[in-house]
């Protein structure tokens, strides 16, 4: 059995999306809990890959689904394309999550006659790790740097955005930003006990931006 690579992950995510969109699921009929649907699809895709490739299983310690590839899988409904992810530090909003995202965006359709549900995969998107920062935060910081902004300007901006960090951390971040300007991110990351990731922008921009790839798009 061959080893799973990013290239294989792309290929199989596309094939799985096409297949899954045509597969009626009895277990999902009438299910409205997005988390339950997401878990179902994640397990199914992992099983699909396990029958074809060797790869390290994600666990609570690594926190992501494919630790060897530094990729986490997310499943979300087109009706509210978002999910949560563990909060590690305020830096993630500026420099990205530290891993790439494979995102399946579905529309669930129940068939009342057959008592089945179909998960129509509308978009399958891969966001490279360096593009997983917050769009508005990175956009604003890049603008400040372009306008010869200094550490005071950056600290004030980060405070205005309620970045979850104390004064010392903000000053350290400001110095790092001056020396290592952030790349433009494309997620919307809301502050909470866990980060809340929102995907509308990556759905719109997939295939149009560097590092945001459209693996599958329903016709």
Domain co-membership, 125 together with 140: no
Domain co-membership, 60 together with 164: no
Answer whether residue 13 is part of any domain: yes
Total structural domains within the chain: 2
Domain co-membership, 103 together with 209: yes
- pLDDT, mean of residues 177-197: 93
Report pLDDT digits (tens) over 2-34.
999 999 999 999 999 999 999 999 999 999 999
Report pLDDT digits (tens) over 130-177.
999 999 999 999 999 999 999 999 999 999 998 889 999 999 999 999
Domain co-membership, 71 together with 165: no
Q: Are 104 and 91 in contact (CB under 8 A)?
A: no
Answer whether residue 33 is part of any domain: yes
The pLDDT assigned to 25 comes to: 96
Answer whether residue 88 is part of any domain: no
Higher-pLDDT residue of 78, 63: 78
Answer whether residue 30 is part of any domain: yes
Residue ranges making up the domain that contains 173: 136-179
CATH number of the domain residue 43 falls in = 3.40.210
Domain co-membership, 150 together with 62: no
Domain co-membership, 121 together with 155: no
The pLDDT assigned to 61 comes to: 61
Q: What is the DSSP string of the chain?
A: -EEP-HHHHHHHHHHHHHHHTT-EEGGGTT---HHHHHHHHHHHHHHHHHTTEE-PPP-TTT-SSBTTTTEEEEEEETTS-EEEE----THHHHH--SSEEEEEEEEEEEETTTTEEEEEEEEEEEE-GGG-SBHHHHHHHHHHHHTT--HHHHHHHHHHTT-S--HHHHHHHHHHHHHSPPPPP-BEEE-SSSEEEE-HHHHHHTTTBTTEEEEEE--
Answer whether residue 19 is part of any domain: yes
Q: Are 66 and 35 in contact (CB under 8 A)?
A: no
Domain co-membership, 107 together with 213: yes
Answer whether residue 86 is part of any domain: no
Answer whether residue 87 is part of any domain: no
Domain co-membership, 124 together with 51: yes
- pLDDT, mean of residues 102-109: 97
Domain co-membership, 49 together with 23: yes
Domain co-membership, 74 together with 172: no
Domain co-membership, 40 together with 60: yes
Q: Are 155 and 51 in contact (CB under 8 A)?
A: no
Answer whether residue 186 is part of any domain: no
d(CA 15, CA 23): 13
Domain co-membership, 70 together with 16: yes
The pLDDT assigned to 177 comes to: 97
Q: Are 94 and 169 in contact (CB under 8 A)?
A: no
């Amino acid at each position: 059995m061959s080893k799973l690579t990013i290239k294989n992950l792309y290929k199989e995510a596309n094939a799985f999306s096409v297949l899954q969109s045509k597969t009626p699921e009895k277990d999902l009929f009438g299910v409205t809990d997005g988390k339950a649907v997401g878990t179902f699809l994640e397990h199914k895709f992992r099983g699909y890959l396990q029958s074809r490739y060797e790869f390290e299983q994600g666990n609570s310690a690594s926190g992501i689904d494919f630790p060897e590839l530094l990729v986490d899988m997310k499943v979300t409904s087109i009706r509210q394309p978002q999910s949560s992810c563990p909060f590690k530090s305020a830096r993630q909003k500026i420099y990205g999550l530290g891993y790439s995202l494979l995102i399946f965006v579905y529309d669930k359709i129940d068939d009342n006659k057959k008592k089945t549900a179909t998960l129509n995969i509308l978009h399958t998107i891969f966001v490279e790790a360096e593009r997983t920062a917050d769009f508005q935060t990175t956009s604003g910081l890049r603008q400040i740097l372009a306008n010869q902004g200094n550490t005071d300007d950056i600290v004030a901006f980060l405070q205005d955005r309620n970045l979850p960090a104390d004064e010392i951390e903000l000053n350290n971040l400001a110095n790092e930003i001056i020396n290592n300007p952030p790349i433009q991110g494309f997620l919307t990351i809301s502050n909470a006990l866990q980060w809340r990731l929102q995907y509308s922008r990556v759905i719109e921009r997939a295939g149009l931006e560097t590092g945001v790839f459209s693996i599958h798009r329903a016709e």
